[in-house]
Amino acid sequence: MKNIYVLLVFVFTLSLGLAQDAETYFKPLKYRNIGPFRGGRSVTAVGVIGDPLTYYMGTTGGGLWKTSDAGQRWENISDGFFETGSVGAVAVSPSDPNVVYCGMGEHAPRGVMTSYGDGVYKSTDAGKTWKKLGLSKTQHISRIVIHPKNPDIVYVAAQGALYAPNEERGIYKSV
């Protein structure tokens, strides 16, 4: 029995002498935040058909974010274009991945009024630039659906109504 204790003490002492300090491994590593930096919670995200690495994510206070490397890095693509930071819906055209629509204002997921939005925005260059289309007073956009073959036919579900394109009365009308 005494030999077993001596052997255990010997093995333990030997392992301490051979073990490297954790600092050897971790000192060269530097902390870095890979983002999204101010995303908050998210109620909408969408991928691009035919491109498994590209996604858009709308956050409730941080705007619209895009990744082109399956989430390794995220880039805010709404700053400087959108008037509010709360995104309720995002959609990418199935027929043209450069066409992206973004509806502002988080919809009420639990029946509670949340951050207001200021309408619908459209990008024709995969999020590099944006144009505001309208529906400023809807406040909460919960869903955007794009026609599978024509990216100019868009249905927008806003709090209280469903909207579609209409050349007679502007961009949208209640359907």
Residue ranges and CATH numbers for the domains of the chain are 39-174 (2.130.10.10)
What global pTM score does this model have? Answer: 0.73
Give ∠ CA 36-77-160 in degrees, rounded to 5: 95
- The number of helices, as runs of H, and strands, as runs of E, in the chain is 2, 12
Report the pLDDT averaged over residues 3-13.
Answer: 76
Range with lowest mean pLDDT among 22-26, 35-39, 92-96, 161-165:
35-39
